[in-house]
Amino acid sequence: MFTDRQPRAFLDPAVLARLAAVPLVARRPMVGTVSGRHASPHRGSSVEFAEYRKYVPGDDLRRLDWRAFGRSDRHYVKEYEADTNLRLCLVLDTSGSMNFGSAAVTKIAVARRIAGALAYLASQQGDAVGISCVADGIVRTLPPRRSPAHLRLAFDVLDEVKPAGPTRLPEVLHELAETTRQRAVVVIISDLFCPPPDLAGAFSHLRFRRHDVAVFHLLDPQELAFQFQRPTRFLDMEGGAAIFADPVDIADRYHRAVQAYLDDLRKVVLESAVDYHRVMTDESYEQVLARFLVGRAAARGLR
């Protein structure tokens, strides 16, 4: 089914093969256009019994439960759960800060790998995949489609996108919440360098629109450790003013600021029921995705 023969730097076939063993499922019912492997809010024709319902004229007589009629002399229609496909909306932060990497790997590279792997896995199980590259606005977007050709387009977008510009993630998420009409799994891949209270509003908006929101929070180890020996002039990768600071002097306050940010973010994701995953750029993205997929598989069944 995977017809894209062009080698992609961010795709590792071995990793994809291992991850394919675990299905990508939504945590809440999806409204798809075709039959799939995801729970739907509607009754359908799957093998999973849902409930009995009184017969009303117009119902298909083939769905009448004759055994129940024999026992109770009443007409009941037997209903089954419907399985459908889902829409996977990948929101990729392409602001300038995503180009940071203290080691060999930058955050945008890790984001490409995660987004590429998720797109491939979703496409493999027949789900529609769309992608939105955002910075101070929506830089580039592909609506969700199920076709393999569309997957190739999504890979092209991932290949071509360049991190630049400031971050306006909360505003962009609001915009996406408004424009994505049907339920979808919205996967945000970003360093989330914006105030947590602003993110809280965006997450709530997405949740209100019945989207299943998952966040991959990308952080570089150096951004947490802040280990510099010499006075340093910090140039803003998103085009802001530079800051001159002595790390020895400012390190403890930097750590306090980071800790306060993470505490606030924790509160936000808990309140917004966001599937949050922190990703350090020096750790294996395969493990991160495995944790993500397994966690979702365990929660399957909720409708």
Partner 1 sequence: MTFLQPWMLAALPLVALPLVIHLINQRRFQTVQWAAMMFLLSARALSRGYSRLRHWLIMLLRMLAVAAVIFAVGRPLSRGWLALAGGGRPDSAVVLLDRSPSMQAVDPAGGGSKLDTGRRQAVESLVTLRPARCLLVADALRGPEEVAGPEAIAELAGGGPAAAAADIPGMLQAAYDFLRENAAGTSEIWIVSDQRANDWRPEDGAWGGIRDAFAKLPQQVRFQLLAYARPAAGNVAVRVGGVRLEQRGRDRQLLVTVSLVRQEDGPRLTLPLRFEIGGVTTAVDVELSGREAVLRNHAIPLDAAAGTRGFGRVSIPADADPADNEFFFVYDEPPPRRALVVADDPAVRRVLELVAGIAPDKDVPATVDSVAPGGLATAAWDETAVLLWQAALPTGRDAELVDAFVARGGQVVFFPPEAPAAATFAGVSWGGWTAHAKPVAPESWRTDQDLLANTLSGGALPLGELEVRRSCGLEGEHVALASLPGGAALIARAAGAGGVCFCATTPAARDSSLASEGVVLYALVQRAIERGRVVLGRARQLDAGPAAAEFAAAATSWSRLAGPDAAPSTESGLHAGVFAAGERLVAVNRPAAEDTAPVVSDDRIDGLFRGLSFSRTSGRAGDGESIVQEIWRAFLIAMLLAIIGEGLLSMPRRREAEAAPRGFPPAEAAA
Binding site for partner 1 (CB under 8 A): 96-100, 107, 191, 193-195, 219-220, 223-226, 228, 230-238, 240, 243-246, 248-262, 265-266, 276-278, 280, 283
Q: In whole angstroms, how close is the CB of 66 to partner 1 at the nearest point?
A: 53
Pick 101 or 130: Cβ nearer partner 1: 101
Half-sphere exposure of 167 (CA within 13 A, CB side): 23
Neighbours of 166 (CB within 10 A): 17
Q: In whole angstroms, how close is the CB of 174 to partner 1 at the nearest point?
A: 20
The pair phi, psi for residue 22, each rounded to 5°, is -105, 125
Say if CB 116 and CB 295 are below 8 A apart.
no
Two structure tokens written together for 49: 């019994």
Pick 175 or 238: Cβ nearer partner 1: 238
Q: In whole angstroms, how close is the CB of 91 to partner 1 at the nearest point?
A: 18
Two structure tokens written together for 254: 């930097």
Pick 64 or 245: Cβ nearer partner 1: 245
Q: In whole angstroms, how close is the CB of 166 to partner 1 at the nearest point?
A: 10
DSSP state for residue 64 in the 8-state scheme: B
Which residues are bridge partners to 53 per DSSP? 77
Two structure tokens written together for 42: 């509607």
Q: In whole angstroms, how close is the CB of 231 to partner 1 at the nearest point?
A: 4
Neighbours of 70 (CB within 10 A): 8
Pick 50 or 224: Cβ nearer partner 1: 224
Q: In whole angstroms, how close is the CB of 285 to partner 1 at the nearest point?
A: 12
Two structure tokens written together for 273: 């029921």
Distance CA 74, CA 70 (A): 8
DSSP state for residue 34 in the 8-state scheme: S
Pick 77 or 269: Cβ nearer partner 1: 269
Q: In whole angstroms, how close is the CB of 108 to partner 1 at the nearest point?
A: 11
Q: What is the SS3 assignment for 141? A: strand
Pick 129 or 172: Cβ nearer partner 1: 172
Pick 54 or 233: Cβ nearer partner 1: 233
Say if CB 166 and CB 135 are below 8 A apart.
yes
Q: What is the separation of C-alpha 298 from the centre of its chain, rounded to a whole number of angstroms? A: 17
